[in-house]
Amino acid sequence: MLIALWHMLSKKTTHNDLGHDYFQQQNQDGIRRHHLRQLRKLGYEVIVKEAA
């Protein structure tokens, strides 16, 4: 928190909220791989097809 405050004060900017799902949007491939791996561990065969 102090680091964020220091950057805002030193650059004379306001707080910019990135949103509640910012990190999920940044790492969609990693999240997809994680969930596929979990399903395979549970014994499911997974075929991924992108939605139209």
The pLDDT tens digits for 31-51 are 899 999 999 999 999 998 988
Predicted TM-score of the model (pTM): 0.54
In tens, the pLDDT along 2-40 reads 998 899 999 999 888 888 988 878 888 898 999 999 999
Q: Tell me the domain boundaries of the chain.
A: 27-52
The DSSP-derived string for 1-52 is -HHHHHHHHHHT-------TTHHHHHTHHHHHHHHHHHHHHTT---------
- Residue 23 pLDDT: 82
